[in-house]
Amino acid sequence: MGSEKLRQLPSVDRLLGEATVQGLVAAYGHRQTVHALRETLDAVRDEVRDGADVPEIAALVARTSVRLREHLAPTLRPVINATGVIIHTNLGRAPLSTAARAAMEAVSRGYSTLEYDLQAGRRGHRTLHAERLLCELTGAEAALVVNNNAGAVLLALTRLAQGRGVVISRGQLVEIGGGFRIPEVMAQSGAHLIEVGTTNRTHLRDYERVLKTHEDVALILRAHHSNFRIVGFTAEPTLPELVALGAEHGLPVMDDLGSGALLDTAQFGLAHEPMVQESVAAGAAVVCFSGDKLLGGPQAGIIVGQAEYVEPLKRHPLARALRADKLCLAGLQATLLHYLKDEATEQVPVWRMIATELAEIERRARRWRRALRRAGVPAEVVDGESTVGGGSLPGETLPTKLVALDVAHPDRLAATLRAADPPVVARIEEDRLVLDPRTVLPEEERELLRAVSEVMR
C-alpha cells in the first residue's frame, strides 16, 4: 500500500537540481545538505506509508532547510540574563568590558607578541603581559596566570605540598559548584589533608596543637567559604593570625580567595568581600583567585604572592598543562588596566552592575513597564533583590526594582522566553515572572522588550 505514491517521491539527485536546494548547499555545504535531504525523504516515506500525501518539492525543501538550521545552529550562544544574578556561573559568569573584547579580537585576528619580545627580537614570556599589572595592583612580588582558579589551587598545592601535610580548618572543607571540592583537589595534588577545629568553630590554638604534633607540614591553607555561609556560633582565626603562626613554624600560608575582589564591596552597601590586596598585605605566601568572578575578566586562575613561592610554580610541568591562552591573557590585561586607571566601576560590567544606583534601576524598570504596556503587556514594577553570585558574598543581596508579569502560567512564559532569539532567562518569584534590569546590558534592552512583547501576544 502506498508504493505507487512512494514512487512519486523525488530522488536526492533530482532535489539537488533545484535552485532552492543549491541555496542550501551554498549555505551549509554539499555533504550536510545531502544528509539532511536523505533524512527528510526517509521521514516522508514513513508518513506516506501511513497514508499521507506526497508533499510538494517546495515543502520537502522547506523541511530540509529547518533540519539543517536546527542541526547546525551553534549551541553555545548569547542569552539575555534577566535573573539579577550578576556573576551567573551557568550563564558564562562575567560579561567583558568593551576594551577587553576589543583586545581579544585584536590578538585573535592575526599574530601577536604572545611569546615574543619585540625589543630583543626573540622569545618572550606569555604570562608577563598580565603579571606586571597584577603585581602593581595587588602589591605582590610575583604573579602567574593559569587557565582557571581550580587549576591555580591544584598547581600551588602540588608544587608546594606534594607528599606533605596541609593544615586547613574543618569549616573550610567546602565544595563549590562544578565538583570542585577542597579535600578532593588536595588528594589529587598528593598533599595530605590535616583537618583542624570543627565545622563552625576553629581557634588558633587548634592550629597550634596540630603544628606541634605533626612532623611534615608544608603549608597552612585558608579557603574562602565560597557559596555558603556559617552563621551563629562561629569562629575562625584571621589571615594575619595564621601568617604569624606560620612564621613561628617556618610555614607559608596559602589563601584561596575564590572570587578575589580588587575593589571594596562594602562601598556598595554589601558585606566586605575579602580583597586580594589585603591577603597580600597580610603576608600570605600564595593567593589564588578567579579571573571571571569579581575581577570581571575572562576565565583565568590568578596566583599572586611572594616570589619565593610563586616563581617555582612557573617552572612546574602542571603550569604548562594549565597555561592560559592568548585570548584570555589579552582580555585579562585589558580588564586589569581598568583597575589601574580607576575606571573599573564604569568599564567593568560586573562592577558597573554592582554599583548601579537603585534610582537608576527604577528608571529603567519604569521605562520597560511603559514600553511593555504600550505593547499591551500588563507589567508592574515591584521591589526585589539582586545577588552578586560567583561564590562571593553568600546570602548578601542588593536592593533592586523588578518588572513583574502576572500571568496564569509563569513557568510556561519562562520556557517561551528561553526559546526566543536571543533567549531570555528570567526568574519566577511568588508565581510571577520577574525581570531584573540590573543584569541586562543597555544594548540588550530593546531585544528583551521585543521578545517579551512578542511572546505575550
Ligand X SMILES: *Cc1c(COP(=O)(O)O)cnc(C)c1O
Q: Is 157 a binder of ligand X (CB under 6 A)?
A: no
Instruction: Single out the residue of 60, 133, 176, 361 in contact with ligand X (rule: CB under 6 A).
Output: 176
Q: Is 290 a binder of ligand X (CB under 6 A)?
A: yes
Q: Which is nearer to ligand X, 81 or 148 (CB)?
A: 148
Residue count (the chain):
457
Which range binds ligand X by CB under 6 A, 241-249, 254-262, 314-322, 323-331? 254-262
CB of 151 to ligand X, least distance (A): 7
Per-residue cell: 91: 550563564
Look at strands 427-429 and 432-435 and give their pairing. Answer: antiparallel
Q: Which is nearer to ligand X, 290 or 345 (CB)?
A: 290
CB of 324 to ligand X, least distance (A): 12
Helices and strands: H and E segment counts in the chain:
20, 16
Q: Is 261 a binder of ligand X (CB under 6 A)?
A: no
Please state, in angstroms and as integers, the Cα–Cα distance from residue 387 to each residue in 252, 351, 362, 392, 398, following that order.
Answer: 34, 12, 17, 9, 6
Per-residue cell: 252: 607559608
Q: Is 368 a binder of ligand X (CB under 6 A)?
A: no
Instruction: Single out the residue of 81, 138, 148, 439 in contact with ligand X (rule: CB under 6 A).
Output: 148
Cα angle, residue 300 at apex, residues 294 and 303 outer, rounded to 5°:
85
Identify whether the C-beta of residue 257 lies closer than 8 Å to the C-beta of residue 279.
yes
β-bridge mates for residue 261, sequence order: 275
Identify whether the C-beta of residue 43 lies closer than 8 Å to the C-beta of residue 67.
no
Task: In whole angstroms, give the CA distance from residue 2 to residue 17.
Answer: 26
Q: Is 171 a binder of ligand X (CB under 6 A)?
A: no
Instruction: Single out the residue of 81, 83, 138, 226 in contact with ligand X (rule: CB under 6 A).
Output: 226
Q: Is 127 a binder of ligand X (CB under 6 A)?
A: no
Cα angle, residue 25 at apex, residues 20 and 27 outer, rounded to 5°:
95
Q: Is 140 a binder of ligand X (CB under 6 A)?
A: no
Q: Which is nearer to ligand X, 65 or 149 (CB)?
A: 149
Instruction: Single out the residue of 223, 239, 324, 334 in contact with ligand X (rule: CB under 6 A).
Output: 223
Instruction: Single out the residue of 84, 305, 389, 391 in contact with ligand X (rule: CB under 6 A).
Output: 391
Instruction: Single out the residue of 28, 180, 309, 339 in contact with ligand X (rule: CB under 6 A).
Output: 180
CB of 110 to ligand X, least distance (A): 29
CB contact set of 209 (below 8 Å; sequence gap of 6+): 196
Residues 183-212 that bind ligand X (CB under 6 A): none
CB atoms within 10 A of CB 82: 26
Per-residue cell: 114: 604572545
Residues 295-314 that bind ligand X (CB under 6 A): 301
Cα angle, residue 340 at apex, residues 337 and 342 outer, rounded to 5°:
110
Instruction: Single out the residue of 192, 222, 224, 438 in contact with ligand X (rule: CB under 6 A).
Output: 224
Residue numbers of the site for ligand X (CB under 6 A)?
Answer: 148-150, 153, 176, 180, 223-224, 226, 256, 258-259, 290, 301, 391
